[in-house]
Structure 1
Amino acid sequence: MPMRLRASLLVLSLLLGAIACAPRAPATPPAADSPPPAATPVVRGPAAEPDASCRVAADCEVKNVGNCCGYFPACVNKDATVDPEAVRAECERSGMASVCGWKDIQSCDCVQGQCRAVDGPIRVDR
């Protein structure tokens, strides 16, 4: 697939993901005399933002971090705590949604201290 097409598809996917993750509007507007709704709690801690720090590529691993659709792989620290069910439960509580689909990650690398998915050929240090 040409690089320009890949870049365009990536941008489109990110935009669709941002739109799909926006909170849904209430079906009926609240009455004028009703109190404002309470703030929706957000998943915090290791389940929401797993540790992606690294010093070498061996510190990184592909794990299912979850999203509002379900399975969602990401490159994170091999010792990171992930809880995809907690992420999904929070999505249900807050009425959030995600685009279903994910990038097939074959391997991870340590780039500037953060675990990142490898695009293209795997780099070999000699």
Structure 2
Amino acid sequence: MLRSFLLLVALLAGSACSAPATTHPPVTAPTPPPQATAVVIDQSCRTDADCTVKDVGNCCGYYPACVNVNSPTDPKGVQASCQARGMMSVCGFREISGCSCMQGKCAAREAEAGSLRRPLQMDGQR
């Protein structure tokens, strides 16, 4: 009887050790978002004719800047990069009436005093 009991204990102990191992899928790190190649904005110039106003973009969307006429821009890429990084920007921009080459870099021209507009008049108001 003792012998049967020991045999039963041995069988139970052996079966517990040989239980199938549970398999889990391997843990992998999340894949980072693809890194877009950043467009380098060229603001170099020799003359005013080398400069123009282009949309270079920011985290809000449209953002004009004076750049070299041949400079690539990627406003959609800028906005996508901002979204991927969870960044925001102050929305708004100044109107650029033209560009000048100043010390080898395209820059916005200052508005001339006579170029300011009067506010729109509402009907019946002067």
TM-score by length of 2: 0.59
Count how many residue pairs are aligned between Structure 1 and Structure 2: 84
Q: Deviations over 1:25-62 (max 9, x none)?
A: xxxxxxxxxxxxxx99986542xx41000000000000
Q: Who is 1:101 aligned against?
A: 92
Given candidates 100, 108, 112, the residue that maps to 1:117 is 108
**1:62 and 2:31 are equivalent in the alignment:** no
> 1:107·1:117 contact (CA, 8 Å) conserved in 2?
yes
Higher RCO, Cα 8 Å, sep 6+:
1
* Ranges in structure 1 where 5+ consecutive residues have no aligned partner: 1-38
Q: Deviations over 1:69-123 (max 9, x none)?
A: 000000000000001000000000001101111110010000000000001339x
Amino acid at match of 1:76: V
Query: 2:34, 2:43 → 1: CA distance?
Result: 23
* Alignment CA distance shift 1:87-1:120 (3 Å): same
Percent of counterpart pairs with the same letter?
49
Aligned-CA RMSD value: 2.5
Query: 1:117, 1:42 → 2: CA distance?
Result: 31
* Ranges in structure 2 where 5+ consecutive residues have no aligned partner: 1-31, 114-126
Amino acid at match of 1:105: I
Amino acid at match of 2:87: M
SS at 1:50 equivalent: coil
SS at 1:51 equivalent: coil
**Once superposed, which parts of structure 1, at least 4 consecutive aligned residues long, lie more than 2 Å away?**
39-46
Amino acid at match of 2:49: A
> 2:56·2:74 contact (CA, 8 Å) conserved in 1?
yes
Point out the structure with max Rg over C-alpha. Answer: 2
TM-score by length of 1: 0.59
